Structure 1
Amino acid sequence: MGWFEERAGLDGTVALITGGAGGLGEGIAVDLAANGVRVAVLDIDEEAADRLRASLDGLGRAAIVHHGDARDADALAALFAAVDERWGRLDTLVNVVGGTFRAPFTDTTPKGWNAIIRANLLHVLHACSLAVPRMKAGDGGGSIVNITTIEAHRAAPGFAVYTAAKAAVEQFARTLAVEVAPDGIRVNNIAPDYTPTPNLAKAGGGDDPMSDPAGVRIAIPMGRAGEIRDISGCAVFLASALSSYVTGTTLHPDGGTFASSGWFNWPDAGWANHVPAGVLPSAPPGAGQ
């Protein structure tokens, strides 16, 4: 056994992942399984769930993969019950499910607000309410990890309710972390920025405004888009004993965008928090008068 395996203590533990069959969730599920974690996954995408099940079976990894909607209380409870029956323990919960659409707030309706809050906040509350008693019963503590977004930490025009819901998840995690800390249960968040996945393109209405490498170099200090493994690596760390004294906080695998907070690396001009002269087209005569 190597240094990481010995210190991480992941082998033989159990993780439940909501939205774990595609995109970020799939990466997290596969990386946890690669470290000996027995994973249970719930995902609304049936084809993705089937692919993940076959992939984990082919690797000889113990897994439970359900097709279902994490926003459905019965479907979520059924996965927890299946974990109880098969393994009788729960060490890690990773809440990945989320979603949004782009629109000015004044063009949205209560129906849309409810859908976004249900997709991004309410299922997290439900999953945590199911996970915490099981982790307490196990006497070994546990780790809860919520996938949020950098948009929980900055303005995001066109995504007002989504950012509010994700910010609520962040604050919920901080408070829950304090409440359950005496039981050895840790609660943390992972807040990525631009990491291309199919769902990200859907959220932007099918467009990918960051597909131009030049735009990525300007907007992200590290000069590249995020990769799924950037986020899954953080999840493995937070699930492991390597983070046994980390709780109530947020990891930012975002290439530095949270730190830069509006500063951009403009070609030929360098870092500035405004558009450099010469980048914008010249104003026509008489403009602004």
Structure 2
Amino acid sequence: MGLLEAHKALAGKTAIVVGGAAGFLGRGASLALAQAGVRVICCDNDREGIASIGADAASLPGGVEAHYADVADPASLDEFYDYLDAEIGQADILINMPGGVRRSLFDKTNREDHARDIRLNYGYVVDSCQRALPLLRRSGNGGSIVNFTTIEAHRGAATFAVYAGAKAGTTNFSRALAVELGAEQIRVNCIATDTTLARASNAALAPEDFQRLAELGADALSKAIEFYVPQKRAPEVDDVMNGLLFLVSDLSRAITGTTLHIDGGTIASLGFLDWPYGDSFMPAPLGGTLKKLGDSHD
């Protein structure tokens, strides 16, 4: 099966997109699927996004139907799935998108912070998959589950400790579930992003982080990306959506239990940065950068 045939075969399928009405990636997922002819039923806690996404998708082959649900509240997510059980009946695709964290040292956080990080980045995924499974089975054609994780699930992400643990839980949960559901042809995979325009990624930084960047000028963040990302640019929304369409299409029918890293190469580098002032790729700065840093403090 070729690329065009695989995308054409998505038309007429039904997708559930949790967190699919707002944000660059969530909204992008719903619209990309609708463009491919998929009927999308999404939920989100952003009421403005819910109100506007239907109109944005009106000209697309698949269309988007949006509902309110807050994944932080198990009862709210259950209400959404109760609707799906009663009114939709079956589905072919499940996308679990939401997440969230605030950067902080572990000893500056509390149990409420931990509980929220675990719920937003792991707990709701378990609930969503369990509620969606009967819907996927009713299609009779297998199905595809894609859970969004992060590069932080694969490295020691200091100041994101509980978040990183929760995302790692989602990653290994997805791997284990893929094994359980393999014989039913229900595939379970993850997409791990890193530096994107996602709302949750931006919200993770503290106000003082943004202030320091602003003081350095408009191109400070793009310069940081050049040091950090081997491809010298952050992935765009379309890059992530291309990976998503691949994982939900029959092009990946033999792929399950894996994580697709869409990050411009940061999972490959894992700490090897392209330092300036002649230092090039190393985990830590060498003489050129260290001298410049020293000069700036003189």
**TM-score (norm: length of structure 2):** 0.89
Residue 142 of structure 1: how far off its partner (Å): 0.5
Q: 1:215 corresponds to which letter in structure 2? A: A
Aligned to 2:229: 220
Q: Superposition pairs for residues 256-271 of structure 1, below 5 Å?
A: 256-267=265-276, 268-271=278-281
| Cα-Cα RMSD | 2.0
CA deviations on 1:81-140 (whole Å, 9 max, x unpaired) are: 434455432011100011011110011111110011111111100000011122122221
Q: Identify if the C-alpha distance between structure 1 residues 273 and 139 changes in structure 2 by more than 3 Å, giving closer, same or farther.
A: same
Residue 80 of structure 1: how far off its partner (Å): 3.0
Q: Identify if the C-alpha distance between structure 1 residues 77 and 211 changes in structure 2 by more than 3 Å, giving closer, same or farther.
A: farther
**Partner Cα distance (1:195, 1:60) in 2:** 27
Q: Identity of paired residues, percent?
A: 37
Aligned to 2:260: 251
Aligned to 1:46: 47
Q: Identify if the C-alpha distance between structure 1 residues 278 and 95 changes in structure 2 by more than 3 Å, giving closer, same or farther.
A: same
Q: 2:189 corresponds to which letter in structure 1? A: N
Q: 2:5 corresponds to which letter in structure 1? A: E
Q: Identify if the C-alpha distance between structure 1 residues 52 and 211 changes in structure 2 by more than 3 Å, giving closer, same or farther.
A: farther
Aligned to 2:180: 179
Q: Which range moves more in the overlay, 115-124 or 193-202?
A: 193-202
Structure 2 residue 288 is the aligned partner of structure 1 residue 278? yes
Structure 2 residue 163 is the aligned partner of structure 1 residue 162? yes
Partner SS state of residue 274, structure 2: strand
Structure 2 residue 18 is the aligned partner of structure 1 residue 18? yes
Q: Superposition pairs for residues 176-215 of structure 1, below 5 Å?
A: 176-206=177-207, 207-208=209-210, 211-215=220-224
Q: Identify if the C-alpha distance between structure 1 residues 118 and 262 changes in structure 2 by more than 3 Å, giving closer, same or farther.
A: same
> 2:37 touches 2:60 (CA, 8 Å); kept in 1?
no
Unaligned runs of 5+ in 1: 285-289
**Partner Cα distance (1:283, 1:33) in 2:** 49
> 1:10 touches 1:240 (CA, 8 Å); kept in 2?
yes
Unaligned runs of 5+ in 2: 214-218
**Partner Cα distance (1:33, 1:60) in 2:** 6
> 1:42 touches 1:70 (CA, 8 Å); kept in 2?
no
Residue 243 of structure 1: how far off its partner (Å): 0.7
Q: 1:280 corresponds to which letter in structure 2? A: L
Partner SS state of residue 148, structure 1: strand
> 2:189 touches 2:247 (CA, 8 Å); kept in 1?
yes
**Partner Cα distance (2:131, 2:220) in 1:** 39
Q: Which range moves more in the overlay, 11-20 or 79-88?
A: 79-88
Q: 1:226 corresponds to which letter in structure 2? A: P
Q: Identify if the C-alpha distance between structure 1 residues 123 and 283 changes in structure 2 by more than 3 Å, giving closer, same or farther.
A: closer
Q: Identify if the C-alpha distance between structure 1 residues 14 and 138 changes in structure 2 by more than 3 Å, giving closer, same or farther.
A: same
Q: Identify if the C-alpha distance between structure 1 residues 14 and 269 changes in structure 2 by more than 3 Å, giving closer, same or farther.
A: same
**Partner Cα distance (1:253, 1:149) in 2:** 9
**Partner Cα distance (2:135, 2:292) in 1:** 63
Residue 203 of structure 1: how far off its partner (Å): 1.0
**Partner Cα distance (2:291, 2:178) in 1:** 50
Aligned to 2:149: 148
Partner SS state of residue 156, structure 1: coil
